[in-house]
A and B are shown apart, each in its own frame.
Chain A
Amino acid sequence: MEEEAILSYLESHEEIADSGQFAAERGLDHDKVVNVIKSLHGYRYIDVQDIKRETWVLTEEGHTYAVAGSPEMQLFLAIPPEGISREELQKKLDPAIFKIGSSQAAKNKWLDMGKQISRKVQHAEDRVKNVLVQIKDGKDPEAEDVKALKTRKLIAPQIWKGYSVKKGPNYAPKRKKVATDLTRENMQRGDWKDLEFKEYNFCAKGQPAEGGHLHPLLKVSQQLKMIFLQMGFEEMPTNNFVESSFWNFDALFQPQQHPARDSHDTFFLRAPSTIKQLPEDYVERVKEIHESGGYGSRGYAYEWRRDEANKNLLRTHTTAVSSQMLYLLARNPFQSKKYFSIDRVFRNEAVDRTHLAEFHQIEGLVCDRGLTLGDLIGVLHDFFSRLGMSNLRFKPAYNPYTEPSMEIFSYHEGFKKWVEIGNSGMFRPEMLRPMGLPEDVRVIAWGLSLERPTMILYGIDNIRDLFGHKVDLGLIKRNPICRLGIA
């Protein structure tokens, strides 16, 4: 009713100057009119301007007097023409009315207040009640009256709010239907043309999407796998965590007293504690190369112990698998190979921000005749440039089974320094020759952890935030796609 009144009035009029007046003239409730004005303004049907006025409202006490008359009048009327004793009069009236009434009536000089109370005037006018009724009806009382009633706390000030209203940019004589969404029903009824949508807040993100998410470390792993495949590398079967010391160390020409073979660094096994079977003729050649050398090597000149080689362990590197793959390769007429693997390895290390007892090793190797250090450097540039690291430097290093050995450093633009990113080298002849690989066959290889480049990539500085059960699921969900190997 109010909405129709406003919209239709504006159709033929420039303006509603005062919403209060507008409501009063039409017998509408001003509060309802105000609500409609606010709503229409929200959809910009109308433009509005605030109007503020100070008005007076009756207090609770004022309301009772507006109906029953002022206490002084009530008192006045309770006095019979012949007068009445104070005690009698008190009995007839409410004590509060008596108290206020007697003092006000006395002030008005209506009464003689002796032992016997009698009227001084015949007629009295209840001005208080009249003014209260005027205020209640929204009329402006005299300033003098206002002052008096205010003092008696019968009226209180109130800010009156109203509006002046004009047509807005979306003005229409009739409001369209407000909808939160377009539904099938709207489509079927065809009433979508009348639909009005509340403005959508594009400054906020939408609801979180429902869907599954892959683990960031494995996303990186998947991209690396793609890179290796594109470089022509074949994946090695690394799905075997339990390994023997023989394949993990001895076959790699890693001496038995090497610190890496300490229980401080390697997880040895109680069950199954030892390997059941090894290729005996090859074991003999490995023993020989450790003890007294061969193929041009002096060997380590120590007593090689079979029981040490038989000890089982959780592989400390995937190179344990590489050694078996190369051994198998040597058993057939030579064929060049490129192998890779990305899988779990284990170290008996204290867990901290950068170390875990298990992590993933990425390994690549090329086995061919006539390979050079230049090939190794070339293949490393190819591989790492696909990871976005094209500025590389190589530092001489030591590794028991590679010679030459090179640590790989990459210049990190963010850290403004050279960061070690991996290790590489040529497998020693003492490792390859006992397997039966021809003399001119060389193997170049490199390795790095999967975690380190991933942490650099995603700006994670605590490895436990990336991998393991303490990882925040939110991080997994928020994680962007891994673009390694793209461009």
Chain B
Amino acid sequence: MPTVSVGRDRLFSVLGATYSELLFYLRCLFYLLTSGSYVSFFKYAAQEEFEDLCFRFGIELDDVTTEKAIIRKEKHLEEEEVDDDEEVIYKIEVPANRYDLLCLEGLAQALRVFNKQEDVPNYSVAEISKVSMLKMHVKPETSQIRPYVVCAVLRGITFDEGSYNSFIDLQDKLHQNICRRRTLVAIGTHDLDKLEGPFTYEALPPSSINFKPLKQEKSFRADELMEFYKSDLKLKKFLHIIEKSPVFPVLYDKRRTVLSLPPIINGAHSAITLKTKNVFIECTATDLTKANIVLNTMVTTFSEYCEKKFEVEPVEVIYASGKSYICPDLSPYKMDVPLSYITDSIGVALEAKEVTNLLNRMQLSAEELVSTIGQCNITVSVPPTRSDILHPCDVMEDVAIAYGYNNIPRRKLASLKSLPLNEFSDLIRTEIAMNGFTEVLTWILCSHKENFDMLNRKDDKSTAVIIGNPRSADFEIVRTSLMPGILKTVGHNKDHPKPIKIFEVGDITLLDDAKDVGAANRRQLAALYCGANSGFELIHCLVDRIMEVVGAPFVAVGDNLGYYIKLSEEPEFLPGRQASIIYRGKRIGTFGIVHPEVLNNFDIPDPCSFVELNIESFLEVS
């Protein structure tokens, strides 16, 4: 995206009321108040309002700086205290296809029109007879190197320092962007009063071209000039465009004064100054479409400073073949766009009147046209400044921008969501398996004994769901822990090589008065190690790993921002070798060496360590 640098104060003053007022208050406050904070508040407010406008329009305030700061940055100097008198510069990013926004004039006009502070200007070509029209004769040799030229004249222009700099900067920006570093198009601007038409556009051997180039004191032969510019930091990068050609493109006036040696340099003779009244603009090119866009951008932007505002004087370009063209062509491009296409694409029902109003804000004149078959069309007049409008979809976009992207009601397409708890369980399961644990899937139902007595636990009747009609003792209750299933698995896998590392992520059910049915599921995670040693340390590090993957930091005891471990006294574990896991102040589980009596109950001859914890609290938003 190209960036344009504009002076803030100049921009705000041309942007009109709101911004100037704010700026005025800002200035007053600056002088009246000793406290700087009010000043910065107002500066900030003006900038914020401007940024919001940019956002809606589709440009972006990229940087706020000063001339001095830019120089300091280039020279890699230290930051200095910002001088309040220094002109603040806004660097604004504009869309790459909006050449009309590449300078302050175009930018300000687009925003003023967008803000309904100004109407779309009507650009016109001065009506002069073909006889009195300036002529540019194109020699056939130019087709070998740079075949096209287009020209125009800005009559009675009045520059001030700001507009003059802007005029120079715009040429630079165009050269960088659409002109593709002067390969496609090169712009030459001249003081017409120093020249005399008709002009010729020729292609000659370098040795036969001789002139005094801009900013130089003496004349150079073109081939020597190329050699001379090899050490010029700015110009050397353009030399390759013509360097190898036997002929160089060159423009002459009637008296054989060299206007320019495109795309390298202009002649010194016709250089423009602040005092220049009549400007001759020539664009030589390898791409005629882009040459016209560049010329139109130059003349429309600066015709604002002409005696006859928005009027441009034409030039006739005559080719050797006898074909001739009058340029610039500032006639609007007419485009008929069905209203339904616009409203259907955006998804907002708009009346034709609304659409034309919105388009006016985007610098597009538009009117409603009802066709014979009753279809409502919008006839759009695309001004010469808007070369980006290629298709009705571009018009549709402008309607959407003016309407406001963020005002368009959204429509939801069909889509699904999975259950977060299950999604999360799956992620945790993968992590535990990746730590070398094998997943088991055990029964929800178990005997009362397995769930209580065999775990050294007492049944206080407050936890387990009890089945009324069990077919066998195996299905008496709903498990209140994953432990019996896991221990039964180990007991039945005595012959499996040690160590055994298994885990399960699944639901248990607990009595819960808050539920209509009086019971609720809890999602638990359990893992067990069984080997020649208890593997207590291994289960401890698995606990740490689980907490790490859920993003919980290890904290000091009592800290509620992460997790810590605290000695516990649960009957199913060996005393002194067990601990509670406290997460955000809440006990979510326990791990430890399984009590040998419990192991014995499940017919397990080897020591085991076990962890069980509830994973639901990991899902709560932090």
Shortest beta-carbon distance, A170 to chain B, in Å? Answer: 11
Contact A377 B410 (CB under 8 A): yes
B residues within 8 A CB of A202?
A: 564-567, 579
- Which of chain B's residues has its CB closest to A400's CB? B97
B residues within 8 A CB of A375?
A: 347, 410-411, 413
- Which of chain A's residues has its CB closest to B498's CB? A184
- A42 at the B interface (CB under 8 A): no
Contact A403 B96 (CB under 8 A): no
- A29 at the B interface (CB under 8 A): no
- Bound CA–CA A299/B389 (angstroms): 10
B residues within 8 A CB of A374?
A: 346-348, 408-411
Instruction: Write the B401-427 contact mask toward A (1 if CB under 8 angstroms, else 0).
Output: 100011011111111111010011001
Known contacts A187-B596, A202-B566, A397-B95: A301-B289 contact under CB 8 Å: yes
Contact A257 B605 (CB under 8 A): no
- Which of chain A's residues has its CB closest to B578's CB? A200
Contact A182 B533 (CB under 8 A): yes
- B436 at the A interface (CB under 8 A): yes
- Which of chain B's residues has its CB closest to A301's CB? B289
- A412 at the B interface (CB under 8 A): no
Among candidates B416, B545, B621, residue contacting A211 with C-beta atoms closer than 8 Å: B545
B residues within 8 A CB of A293?
A: 390-391
B residues within 8 A CB of A199?
A: 576
A residues within 8 A CB of B391?
A: 293, 295-298, 403, 428-430
- Bound CA–CA A383/B540 (angstroms): 38
Known contacts A259-B96, A374-B346, A395-B60: A206-B390 contact under CB 8 Å: no
Among candidates B55, B96, B548, B607, residue contacting A395 with C-beta atoms closer than 8 Å: B55
A residues within 8 A CB of B397?
A: 396, 403-405
Known contacts A184-B607, A231-B415: A442-B537 contact under CB 8 Å: no
- B64 at the A interface (CB under 8 A): no
- Which of chain A's residues has its CB closest to B405's CB? A394
- A480 at the B interface (CB under 8 A): yes
B residues within 8 A CB of A299?
A: 390
Instruction: Write the A178-199 contact mask toward B (1 if CB under 8 angstroms, else 0).
Output: 0001111011100010000101
- Which of chain B's residues has its CB closest to A190's CB? B596
- A334 at the B interface (CB under 8 A): no
- A398 at the B interface (CB under 8 A): yes
Known contacts A372-B411, A378-B413, A481-B549: A486-B424 contact under CB 8 Å: yes
- Bound CA–CA A426/B551 (angstroms): 39
Q: What is the size, in residues, of chain B's interface with A at 8 Å between Cβ atoms?
A: 89
- B435 at the A interface (CB under 8 A): yes
- Which of chain B's residues has its CB closest to A444's CB? B413
Among candidates A231, A370, A379, A404, residue contacting B344 with C-beta atoms closer than 8 Å: A370
Instruction: Write the A322-358 contact mask toward B (1 if CB under 8 angstroms, else 0).
Output: 0000000000000000100000000000000000000
Shortest beta-carbon distance, A431 to chain B, in Å? Answer: 10
- Bound CA–CA A374/B57 (angstroms): 18
Interface centre among B534, B566, B605 (most CB of A within 10 A): B534
Among candidates B287, B393, B414, B565, residue contacting A428 with C-beta atoms closer than 8 Å: B393
A contact residues, range: 35 or more
Interface centre among A203, A211, A232, A406 (most CB of B within 10 A): A211
Contact B347 A211 (CB under 8 A): no
Contact A373 B400 (CB under 8 A): yes
Contact B536 A181 (CB under 8 A): yes
- B169 at the A interface (CB under 8 A): no
- A478 at the B interface (CB under 8 A): yes
Among candidates A208, A232, A373, residue contacting B408 with C-beta atoms closer than 8 Å: A373
Among candidates B394, B410, B415, B607, residue contacting A182 with C-beta atoms closer than 8 Å: B607
- A209 at the B interface (CB under 8 A): yes
- B599 at the A interface (CB under 8 A): yes
Q: Is chain B's interface secondary structure helix, strand, loop, or mixed overall?
A: mixed
- B593 at the A interface (CB under 8 A): yes
- A300 at the B interface (CB under 8 A): yes
Interface centre among A200, A381, A430 (most CB of B within 10 A): A200
Contact B541 A373 (CB under 8 A): no
Shortest beta-carbon distance, B611 to chain A, in Å? Answer: 11
- A366 at the B interface (CB under 8 A): yes
B residues within 8 A CB of A211?
A: 434-436, 545
Contact A298 B390 (CB under 8 A): yes
- A52 at the B interface (CB under 8 A): no
A residues within 8 A CB of B564?
A: 202-203
Known contacts A187-B599, A197-B577, A301-B289: A404-B396 contact under CB 8 Å: yes
- A393 at the B interface (CB under 8 A): yes
- Bound CA–CA A483/B424 (angstroms): 7
A residues within 8 A CB of B593?
A: 182
Among candidates B410, B541, B551, B557, residue contacting A206 with C-beta atoms closer than 8 Å: B541
Contact B406 A394 (CB under 8 A): yes
A residues within 8 A CB of B98?
A: 398
- Which of chain B's residues has its CB closest to A208's CB? B541
Contact B577 A182 (CB under 8 A): yes
Known contacts A378-B412, A481-B427: A395-B543 contact under CB 8 Å: no
- A306 at the B interface (CB under 8 A): no
Instruction: Write the B75-87 contact mask toward A (1 if CB under 8 angstroms, else 0).
Output: 0000000000000
- Bound CA–CA A428/B58 (angstroms): 18
Interface residues of A in 431-460 (CB under 8 A from B): 442
- A210 at the B interface (CB under 8 A): yes
- B510 at the A interface (CB under 8 A): no
- A263 at the B interface (CB under 8 A): no
- Bound CA–CA A297/B394 (angstroms): 10
A residues within 8 A CB of B72?
A: none
Shortest beta-carbon distance, B128 to chain A, in Å? Answer: 28
- A13 at the B interface (CB under 8 A): no
Contact B605 A184 (CB under 8 A): yes
B residues within 8 A CB of A295?
A: 391
A residues within 8 A CB of B418?
A: 226, 230
Shortest beta-carbon distance, A3 to chain B, in Å? Answer: 21
Contact B420 A393 (CB under 8 A): no
- Bound CA–CA A203/B401 (angstroms): 59
A residues within 8 A CB of B544?
A: 205-206, 208-209
- Bound CA–CA A220/B345 (angstroms): 33
- A121 at the B interface (CB under 8 A): no
Contact A297 B400 (CB under 8 A): no
Among candidates B400, B411, B416, residue contacting A230 with C-beta atoms closer than 8 Å: B416
Contact A197 B576 (CB under 8 A): yes
Shortest beta-carbon distance, A428 to chain B, in Å? Answer: 6
Shortest beta-carbon distance, A34 to chain B, in Å? Answer: 26
- A212 at the B interface (CB under 8 A): yes
- B542 at the A interface (CB under 8 A): yes
- A487 at the B interface (CB under 8 A): yes
Among candidates A186, A206, A214, A429, residue contacting B540 with C-beta atoms closer than 8 Å: A206
Instruction: Write the B531-566 contact mask toward A (1 if CB under 8 angstroms, else 0).
Output: 011101110111111001111001011000000111
Contact B392 A200 (CB under 8 A): no
B residues within 8 A CB of A259?
A: 96, 180
Contact A480 B346 (CB under 8 A): no
B residues within 8 A CB of A403?
A: 391, 393-394, 396-397
Contact B534 A182 (CB under 8 A): yes
- B119 at the A interface (CB under 8 A): no
Please name the 10 residue pairs, one residue from A and one from B, whose CB atoms are nearest each other, closest first.
A372-B347, A396-B58, A374-B347, A398-B95, A206-B540, A211-B435, A404-B397, A206-B541, A378-B410, A297-B391
Binding site for B on A (CB under 8 A): 181-184, 186-188, 192, 197, 199-200, 202-203, 205-214, 226, 230-232, 257, 259, 293, 295-302, 338, 366, 370, 372-375, 377-379, 381-382, 386, 393-398, 400, 403-406, 426, 428-430, 442, 478, 480-483, 485-487
Given contacts A202-B566, A213-B434, A426-B393, 6 further A-B contacts (CB under 8 A): A200-B577, A211-B434, A293-B390, A377-B408, A395-B405, A480-B548
27 contacts between A and B (CB under 8 A): A182-B533, A187-B606, A197-B577, A200-B567, A200-B579, A203-B557, A210-B436, A211-B435, A231-B413, A232-B413, A257-B184, A296-B392, A298-B333, A298-B391, A301-B288, A370-B344, A372-B346, A375-B413, A378-B412, A382-B412, A403-B394, A404-B400, A404-B401, A429-B391, A430-B390, A480-B549, A481-B427
